[in-house]
């Protein structure tokens, strides 16, 4: 996971701040950050007014089998249906997918929030359609699309599918693993920073 950074692609002026307070008796640190800081979960209510809030998302969605799909491309490239449909069996069998574009290498640079790969509407609708309908989707980019930011968010979140953004997938090479998404337990919120673990099958 990434543990600090601008709140979101659209609202980069709000920064992660750490204010330590040390005295002779104890240490106490004040944190100031947005709910979409660093690696974080978007709950459906992030875009959909009547959508599920963070605390109503089942752990059965956030924890379980997951597949990694490599979608590496050039800056500004499209993640199209053709990139995903060849992995249909794995996506269907796990119900959870993370897309590895390689964009995480740019974390900590101004480029990270500019011109990242974008999933197409067609690909997003395929993932949310009744034949596939994933439970959870994750990206190693700050947004699933810089080309159609809100429209793509709506496709996933209207379908009730939480999204994990700003994942660090650089060391993950195993195509099947168990994912654990552990957001801060914020009641009635639209998202939260999260710790994400990939539990690997060492025998595979």
Name the helix (H) or strand (E) containing 157: helix 149-158
Which tokens belong to 199? Answer: 């539990």
Banded model confidence at residue 7, pLDDT cuts 50, 70, 90: very low
Q: What is the SS3 assignment for 30? A: strand
Which tokens belong to 167? Answer: 């994942």
82 vs 84: CA distance, rounded Å: 5
- The verdict on pTM exceeding 0.85 is yes
Q: What is the pLDDT of residues 135-148, one digit of tens each?
A: 999 999 999 999 99
pLDDT of 24 reads 83
Cβ of 8: how many Cβ atoms within 10 Å? Answer: 22
Which residues are registered as beta bridge partners of 195?
182
Domain boundaries, the chain: 35-199
CB 164 within 8 A of CB 138: yes
Q: What is the pLDDT of residues 50-81, one digit of tens each?
A: 999 999 999 999 999 999 999 998 999 999 99
Which tokens belong to 33? Answer: 């950050």
DSSP 54: G
Banded model confidence at residue 30, pLDDT cuts 50, 70, 90: confident
Does domain 35-199 match CATH 3.50.30.50? yes
pLDDT of 8 reads 40
Pairing of strands 136-139, 163-165: parallel
Nearest alpha carbon to residue 3 among 193, 171, 186 = 193
């Amino acid at each position: 996971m990434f543990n600090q950074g601008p709140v979101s692609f659209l609202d980069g002026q709000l920064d992660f701040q750490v204010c330590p307070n040390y005295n002779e008796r104890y240490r106490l640190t004040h944190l100031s950050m947005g709910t979409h800081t660093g690696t974080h979960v978007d709950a459906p209510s992030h875009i959909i007014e009547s959508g599920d809030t963070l605390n109503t998302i089942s752990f059965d969605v956030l924890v379980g089998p997951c597949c990694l799909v490599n979608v590496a491309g050039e800056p500004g490239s499209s993640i199209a249906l053709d990139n995903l449909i060849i992995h249909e069996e794995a996506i269907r069998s796990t119900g959870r997918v993370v897309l590895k574009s390689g964009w995480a290498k740019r974390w900590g640079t101004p480029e990270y929030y500019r011109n990242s790969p974008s999933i197409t509407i067609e690909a997003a609708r395929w993932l949310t359609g009744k034949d596939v309908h994933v439970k959870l989707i994750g990206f190693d980019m700050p947004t699933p699309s810089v080309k159609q930011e809100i429209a793509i968010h709506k496709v996933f979140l209207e379908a009730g599918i939480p999204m994990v953004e700003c994942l660090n997938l650089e060391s993950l090479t195993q195509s099947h693993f168990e994912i654990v998404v552990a957001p801060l337990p914020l009641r009635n919120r639209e998202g939260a920073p999260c710790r994400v673990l990939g539990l690997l099958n060492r025998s595979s």
